[in-house]
Amino acid sequence: MEYRPRTPREGVNVSAVHPLSELVTLVLGISLAVVVLVVAAFAVIEVVIRWVPPSFESRVFASLWSADLGSEPEDPRFDAAAALLGRLESHWEENPYELRLAIMEEESANAFAVPGGTIYLTRGLLDSVESENELAFVLGHELGHFRNRDHLRSLGRGLIVSLALSALVGGSAAESLPQVVTALTESGFAREQEEDADAFGISLVQAEYGHVAGADGFFKRLPDANADIADEFASYLATHPVSEARIENLWSLAAENRWPLTGELTPLPR
Amino acid sequence: MTGAAIKLGFPLLLLFGTYLIGSAVEKTHYREIRIREARSRRFPTVNFRTPPKSWNIVGAEMVAGNVVISIDYFKRFLAGLRMLFGGRVASYESLLDRARREAILRMKETAFERGYNAVINVRIETSRLASSNRKGEGTAGVEILAFGTAVKFAK
């Protein structure tokens, strides 16, 4: 046998795939798969929400949302708000929840409905409301979230999105992605949810007082109402749709139903 | 928004930057490998265990060539994406190919410098030097060791 010198051949050991084209294929494929999975998971959530009875929900979440987040202070305004909640509840006949009100020590004016039937008002909201009517709309709005099971929906969606993301990006490259994506998806859905809750809230105000005066005071105290939101993108990203659009919605709803726009405002105890 | 843009933009910039640098480094390495392979092609390297009968051997010594090559951020990212669905991890193939050829070249060059005429019984070993598991912070790389018996022919 003879030794014939030659250079090693460029063989089959390296695939002739351009790294960038592989990147694009992978990113597109994975994005598509994730979108399909998340949409499917969201559909499952809608079904599950329909089948989870509020009593079960309360049992599960009762221990989760305890005194850590908020308290029930000795305050005439808190008592008035709790009593108001009771009266509003009576206008929602099929209410399956045992509702509870608590105050969160937080300066910005806001309110939240959390799974299990607890409504949190921030101290800032309680300090800034000027009439009971205004507060009634806030509480009615949160009742609307309970009625539409929005609190469960948000919880489920948030869970799915964060699960999907943590499965996808183990770390390094995109630890910041979760916030970005959650902000983008949540705000898109929130728009519709907030408007539905608004509609229910104002119908409760009308049922309680016989007019809807003062209902829009709520928006003047939302954090984003104070912020300078000029461009449309920022307003889209805000959790609550821009206040003015929501006020307009309220008034057109009131006009449709011929609800009186003016009336006497009920004061809150100081 | 700017915060999110920076947070998202930085990894993207890193990805693109490491792609450019990584592929430039790889290109340079391949060019160098090809030149050295051409230069040393008259130096027989075989994996026979015993030399052919016709070889008149007067000396022998074990020679080894060793190389450690690290993957870049981009390749690791690509491999990470690939991990989800499976398939050929093409981004690592060139890495291993370079490492093997470089290790063999180093072995041959060592043997040549010491005055040997060929290397027989060539073996190649691969080991994983470090894992990239620690949240991607570790240095992932491969070590390739090529070794064999360098032999000297009678003049």
Determine whether the interchain pair A15/B42 forms a contact, defined as Cβ–Cβ distance below 8 Å. Answer: no
Domain assignment present for A194: yes
Range scoring the smallest mean pLDDT among A55-59, B56-60, B64-68: A55-59
- Whether the CB of B90 is below 8 Å from some CB of chain A: the reply is yes
Q: What is the 3-state secondary structure (H, E, C) of chain A?
A: CCCCCCCCCCCCCCCCCCHHHHHHHHHHHHHHHHHHHHHHHHHHHHHHHHHCCHHHHHHHHHCCCCCCCCECCCCHHHHHHHHHHHHHHHHCCCCCCCCEEEEECCCCCCEEEECCCEEEEEHHHHHHCCCHHHHHHHHHHHHHHHHCCHHHHHHHHHHHHHHHHHHHCCCHHHCCHHHHHHHHHHHHHHHHHHHHHHHHHHHHHHHHHCCCCCCCHHHHHCHHHHCCCCCHHHHHHCCCCCHHHHHHHHHHHHHHCCCCCCCCCCCCCC
Domain assignment present for A142: yes
Q: What mean pLDDT is reported for chain B?
A: 87
Domain assignment present for A5: no
Buried b / exposed e across B121-131, counting CB within 10 Å, b at 16+?
A: bbebeeeeeee
Domain assignment present for A175: yes
Determine whether the interchain pair B8/A174 forms a contact, defined as Cβ–Cβ distance below 8 Å. Answer: yes
Instruction: Tell me the mean pLDDT in the region B39-56.
Output: 90
Chain B residue with the nearest C-alpha to that of A171: B135
Determine whether the interchain pair B38/A7 forms a contact, defined as Cβ–Cβ distance below 8 Å. Answer: yes
Residues of chain A with pLDDT under 70: 1, 62-69, 168-190, 220-242
- Whether the CB of B53 is below 8 Å from some CB of chain A: the reply is no
Domain assignment present for A16: no
Determine whether the interchain pair B1/A180 forms a contact, defined as Cβ–Cβ distance below 8 Å. Answer: no
Pick the more confident residue, B56 or B133.
Answer: B56
Determine whether the interchain pair B80/A17 forms a contact, defined as Cβ–Cβ distance below 8 Å. Answer: no
pLDDT at B132 over 80: no
Domain assignment present for A38: yes
Determine whether the interchain pair A19/B136 forms a contact, defined as Cβ–Cβ distance below 8 Å. Answer: no
Domain assignment present for A262: no
Residues 4-33 of B with CB under 8 A from A: 4, 7-8, 11, 15, 19, 23
- Whether the CB of A15 is below 8 Å from some CB of chain B: the reply is yes
- Which of B84, B89, B126, B137 would best serve as a mutation to test chain A binding (most A beta carbons within 10 A)? B84
Determine whether the interchain pair B7/A180 forms a contact, defined as Cβ–Cβ distance below 8 Å. Answer: yes
Rounded to a whole number, what is the distance in Å from the CA of A163 to chain B's nearest CA?
15
pLDDT of residue A16: 84
- Whether the CB of A12 is below 8 Å from some CB of chain B: the reply is no
Residues of B in contact with A184 (CB under 8 A): none
| Residues 6+ positions from A2 with CB-CB distance below 8 Å | none
Residue A60: domain span: 22-257
Residues of B in contact with A30 (CB under 8 A): 81, 84-85
- Whether the CB of B52 is below 8 Å from some CB of chain A: the reply is yes
- Whether the CB of A6 is below 8 Å from some CB of chain B: the reply is yes
Q: What is the pLDDT of residues A152-184, one digit of tens each?
A: 887 787 777 777 777 766 544 445 555 555 555
Determine whether the interchain pair A170/B135 forms a contact, defined as Cβ–Cβ distance below 8 Å. Answer: yes
How many structural domains are present in chain A?
A: 1
| Residues 6+ positions from A34 with CB-CB distance below 8 Å | A164, A168
Determine whether the interchain pair B78/A23 forms a contact, defined as Cβ–Cβ distance below 8 Å. Answer: yes
Residues of B in contact with A165 (CB under 8 A): none
